[in-house]
Amino acid sequence: MDIRKVVIPVAGWGTRSVPASKNIPKEMLPIYDKPVIQYIVEEAVKAGIRDVVFVASQNKKVVEDHFDYNPALEMVLREAGKTALLDKVLHAAELVNIMSVRQKKQLGLGHAVLCAREIVGHDDAFACTVGDDLMFGENVPAGIPQLVKVAQEHNMPCIGVMEVPADKVNRYGIAMGDEIEPGIIKVSGLVEKPAVGTVSSRLAIVGRYVLTSDIFSYLDKVKPGAGGEIQLTDALAMRAADRGLLAVKMNGLRFDAGDWVDYLAANVYFGLRDEKIHDDLLKRIRSLVQA
């Protein structure tokens, strides 16, 4: 299974982050010294992926531009001798190849994946990740690298899952099935945002996928739900019933950048990992907690 592309839907309005995202795409909000979307792309790069397909809208061009060169800024940094900053700017521009397709109407994650059909449809498999959910592993593969490894070993599409409290299953797509290896579940069913108390599973789908090209034929069969949205979960449920699907318990830490607590926690997490500011930041946090 050769996985060369990652599809990243970024067309949404980001209403959970308003007013911060009123004029700045939520994917461009900074977490410490990088925008959210760069962390997402760097995760895919760790899996050996170099082609990124953004499913975007007309107000998201700045997301694509972040991964391009900026000659004016580069010249200013070069002339000022700020080589470390220049290296960071160039790093973002040289990370990946960028492709983009428009999602003219935001009709759900399944619809966003369908919009990328012409770009990835000829490939056997591709990765997919949401643009505002960060995953990090300490000395273990996490997120897309973890899924790619399992997908290639089993020659099977995979979804990433994490256990959530029973009273929060109604916020997620939920996977059900039997564990065939430690952390790997053969999916028997999927349900999108079930009512609390109606499912026994607490395995929530957390926006990481390795999909095979047949997902497009299943998406074609999905009937639009509320608001005309086409749910990727519904198509995956069909695939699981017909040809099989694996769910993989994700390693490491997860930060939902659309949730203010998680967003702020991610900033603290990455700030504390920087030795240059670790001590001062920790001191400042302690003073605020004690105030």
Beta strands in the chain (DSSP E): 3-9, 30-31, 34-35, 51-56, 97-102, 125-129, 133-136, 158-163, 173-181, 184-192, 203-212, 246-249, 253-256
Top CATH class, 3-258: alpha beta
- Answer for the pair 51, 4: CB distance below 8 angstroms, yes or no: yes
pLDDT tens string 165-221: 998 898 888 999 999 999 999 999 999 888 988 998 999 999 999 999 999 999 999
Q: Where are the domains of the chain?
A: 3-258
Share of the chain above pLDDT 70, in %: 99
pLDDT of residue 78: 96
pLDDT of residue 266: 96
pLDDT of residue 18: 85
- Answer for the pair 44, 142: CB distance below 8 angstroms, yes or no: no
Res 116 pLDDT > 80: yes
Q: Which two tokens stand for residue 144?
A: 């897309």
pLDDT of residue 19: 86
Q: Which two tokens stand for residue 84?
A: 């470390």
pLDDT tens string 53-93: 999 988 889 999 999 999 999 999 999 999 999 999 999 99
Q: How far is CA 222 from the centre of its chain?
A: 22
pLDDT band at 20 (very low <50, low <70, confident <90, very high): confident
